[in-house]
Amino acid sequence: MPKIRHTPKAPTHLRVLASGERIDPHRHDDHQIVYAGSGVVAVTTDAGTWFAPGTRAIWVPAGTVHAHRAHGRLNAYFVGLPADDNPLNLDAPTVLTVTPLLRELIIEYTRAPDDTSPERRRLRAVLRDQLRASPQQPVQLPTPRDPRLAAVCALVHEHPADPRTLAALGAETGVGERTLSRLFRSELGMTFPQWRTQSRLFHALRMLADDTPVTTVAHRCGWSSTSAFIDVFRRAFGYTPGAHQRRP
């Protein structure tokens, strides 16, 4: 198992990552905000994977061991906040909505990380206010711990277009539908259809970041039609898959 890198201060900076490039597991004594100016960023902890396109940012609390992965060419903006400065009062990774104003504040704040001027302190104050007002979004793929649930989730995640019901998947893994349904709710906090939708959206974001056509993405991720995929994607992220691919 690789050694977990410890960096006391979470740096504020822009880092450009190629598609598929990773940042190995590490932790900071500071909180960190991760925002994808282009591409898609995935943040993984023992509890699961959080993923965000350009209308979302990921809050990573101080001390959380996490890793990053880029999907598509990623302009990753990182903003560090001291451990005693938690405007969100959150103690677990969380996906947040990024308004156009918050996007510009994050980008501007990373331009001169060593600047200690009064102007930059005011910029940080506005950024904190905007963070506090940001709605939380359920864009997460929780990691199952129960081996029975993990087996079913692996089948779904490895084959996103698989249309089988929970009963059929349970029959393959030797677990009853009622037991699996209970495990999804008690362990992952969501139903089987909700988890499968999150898994499919995760795959969809990765494919779109690699410029896969929208119709192809819809088919490979198991939606019955392109229009159905577009509707689910728009409700999840606030814009269409086509608009996602046109991002800089």
Q: Which of 104, 120, 140 is the last residue of a domain?
A: 140
The pLDDT of residue 195 is above 60: yes
Domain that holds residue 210: 144-245
- At residue 180 the predicted structure's pLDDT band, cuts being 50, 70 and 90, is very high
- At residue 1 the predicted structure's pLDDT band, cuts being 50, 70 and 90, is very low
The pLDDT of residue 248 is above 70: no
pLDDT at position 245, please?
59
Q: Which of 125, 140, 155 is the last residue of a domain?
A: 140
In this structure, the answer to whether residues 52 and 172 fall within a common structural domain is no
The pLDDT of residue 147 is above 90: yes
How many structural domains does the chain have? 2
In this structure, the answer to whether residues 62 and 154 fall within a common structural domain is no
- Which of 167, 245, 240, 155 shows the shortest CA–CA distance to 199? 155
Between CA 70 and CA 1 the distance in angstroms is 22
Between CA 110 and CA 6 the distance in angstroms is 21
Both structure tokens of 52: 């965000």
Average pLDDT over residues 21-39: 92
Three-state secondary-structure class, residue 114: coil
pLDDT at position 2, please?
59
Average pLDDT over residues 233-244: 84
Portion of the chain with pLDDT greater than 70, in percent = 97
Q: Which of 118, 140, 162 is the last residue of a domain?
A: 140
In this structure, the answer to whether residues 31 and 125 fall within a common structural domain is yes
CATH of the domain at 89: 2.60.120.280
CATH of the domain at 157: 1.10.10.60
Q: Which residues pair with 56 in a beta bridge?
A: 97
- At residue 136 the predicted structure's pLDDT band, cuts being 50, 70 and 90, is confident
Is 56 or 122 the better-scoring residue by pLDDT?
Answer: 122
Which is it for strands 31-45 and 56-60: parallel, antiparallel or unpaired? antiparallel
How confident is the model over 81-132, as pLDDT tens digits? 999 988 888 888 999 989 999 999 999 999 988 888 999 999 999 999 999 9
Within 13 Å, how many C-alpha atoms sit on residue 224's CB side? 2
In this structure, the answer to whether residues 112 and 132 fall within a common structural domain is yes
